[in-house]
A and B are shown apart, each in its own frame.
Chain A
Amino acid sequence: MPSRNAAQWNTPPNSLRIDEFVDSRIYSDPAIFEEELEKIWKKSWLPVCHESELPEPYDFRTLTIAREPILVVRGPDNKIRAFLNVCPHRGMLIERRPSGSFLENQASGNPKHMTCMFHGWQFDMKGNCAMITREKEGYQDRLSRKDLGLRELRCETTFGNFVWVTLDDNNTQSVNDWAGDALACIQKNLDAEPLEVFHYHKAIIGTNYKLWHDTNSEFYHDYMHYFNRITGFTPEYFARKNVAHKNGHVVVGTFEVQYEKYQLGKSRAELSFPGLPPNQWFMVDLFPGANFNLRGSALRVDVMTPLSADTVMIEFRGLGLKRDTAEERMRRIEHHNSIWGPFGRNLHEDLLGVAGQGSAMLPGSEPRRIIQARHENETIHDEVGMRHFYQEWGRRMNRLPSDPTRKYMEAAE
């Protein structure tokens, strides 16, 4: 086939429908990115951490959603709550550490309190303002502590005891409403018994967050992975279903991975998650940027924090069963990290892929068409997952993914 000149390059093939490609400006335009933070990221439920990261009362974790700093804390009543990690006084971060315990003394405050180091304002585990230094002298009776509590965020602990947070008080959905339909396929495996995080690392990659989500949503890129070609590519693999679920989520159904076909590989059957048939592998992609990947003996969960149009932070967690023996845990860790660790076989390749896309779609680069037109009866290499994601994206943004200057709703009509 001939190469193409600029006009040809910039004209989508006539045979493509408008839902079978997207315009690369949705990955590179800073204005679209800012709009996404408002219309998508500040409106969605996100699995921000796992309850095993804050196992004891007064334990906490800090994180960020759409540039808003968040503090997740387990109260003395054992309930996990989420707050904006912002002091109502002068807007300082209340807690600066990634994790810890408020049982410990702090330089500016008392145990069992969240203390803003700046002026010593203190809050209890329910977000009530408990202490204002020199309160009477400075504010007389003009300000009341009851009006100076923390901003509490909606928070649920569910689906394998992940901690879910949304910034949107007006979101009428529960987490189950939001993600239950998609996560139903692995819910019994996640909820059978307590899980525990054994792996955490993060990557900041020069690429748009959707490009990472796309990669998690399509398995056609298994051609990039020697490991997957060797252990996968069977008739059962190619029959694996790829099914759209409500709210923009996608589930890639299971099949039996043949781990022993990789050199020195071994079956992982004996450490399968409860209720999961041996060596099976489910993948659940949650709009707008999280992923539950249950591969036999280990659960991997990716959570994205978009930083700019061309930069994303991805947090990678690995989980096993809380009751694991030391030997079982080590084998689970090896299973997880030999593929998905920062020095594993597949994750490095996946990240090279999206870094390369990011390099070719920098802000200001020419608009291009990114094709998602594979139809294979909604099986593994069908790109239905990406098409489904961008329908949801288009509805929420009211922009047509194939031409983001057009309104989605008008185009749909």
Chain B
Amino acid sequence: MPASRDTIESVKDAIYKSCLLLDDFKFKDWLELCDSDFTYAIVAYSPEIRRDMTYFSGDRKQLATMLDLLPKHNTDHSPLKRHATVYDVAVDDSGKTAEAITSVLIYQNMLDGINSHIDAGENRLFVVGRYLDTFRLNGGAPKFVRRHVRLETRRLDKGSHWPL
């Protein structure tokens, strides 16, 4: 049975809401969109070493701990802002899970990463990639159970402490 328009829209809404929450540093609220067995990874393929790579990975507990520790780490506070377009939502035949492909560009709004007098306020394209999401559908709002951020960008310069 084809998935209902409402189901597909609810998946899209969850993805866009995740972008807003991440943009606004509302990390705890972002994790609330995720089920207890949620896993997250930033992955990329390297044409240099001809391998798939995992740049970062963690489960929900690890992410929560990492986010709690952020104030103890020195970091580039230049905010990241996402521009996302959901390209595809596929609901499985049982109607219990869905997978979505989202194109995402993440911009860095320069603040203190280099020389704030010169750079602050400038926007730089930080990474290009896709969100590859898996959801659990329980009748209510879809819950993220897996997010893979698959990056095309591999020149990552200073990198980041924040989830993408």
Contact = CB atoms under 8 A, between A and B. Distances in A.
A200 B46 contact: yes
A352 B74 contact: yes
* Range for the number of chain B residues in contact with chain A: 35 or more
Contacts of B68: 263
A355 B112 CA distance: 11
Q: Which 3 A-B residue pairs are closest in the complex by CB-CB distance?
A: A342-B159, A342-B156, A343-B56
21 contacts: A53-B49, A197-B51, A198-B49, A198-B51, A200-B46, A200-B51, A203-B159, A205-B157, A226-B69, A334-B54, A337-B54, A337-B55, A337-B57, A341-B56, A345-B161, A348-B76, A349-B73, A352-B76, A352-B113, A355-B158, A359-B115
A370 interface: no
Interface in B60-79: 61-62, 65, 68-69, 72-76
Nearest to A205: B157
Interface string A340-379: 0111110111011001100100000000000000000000
B17 interface: no
B28 interface: no
B125 interface: no
A345 B73 CA distance: 7
Contacts, number: 113
A343 B160 contact: yes
Given A99-B47, A226-B69, A203 B61 contact: no
Given A197-B51, A203-B155, A227-B73, 20 more contacts: A99-B47, A99-B49, A199-B53, A199-B55, A201-B46, A201-B55, A201-B154, A202-B156, A205-B158, A263-B68, A264-B62, A333-B54, A337-B56, A341-B159, A342-B159, A343-B56, A348-B161, A349-B74, A352-B74, A352-B158
A64 to B, nearest CB: 13
A29 B10 CA distance: 58
Contact of A264 (B47, B61, B74, B75): B61
Contacts of A334: 54, 57
Contacts of A197: 49, 51
Nearest to A197: B49
A61 interface: yes
Interface string B19-62: 00000000000000000000000101011111101111100011
Contacts of B49: 52-53, 99, 197-198, 200, 317
A249 to B, nearest CB: 26
A264 B60 CA distance: 12
B97 to A, nearest CB: 23
Contacts of A203: 155-159
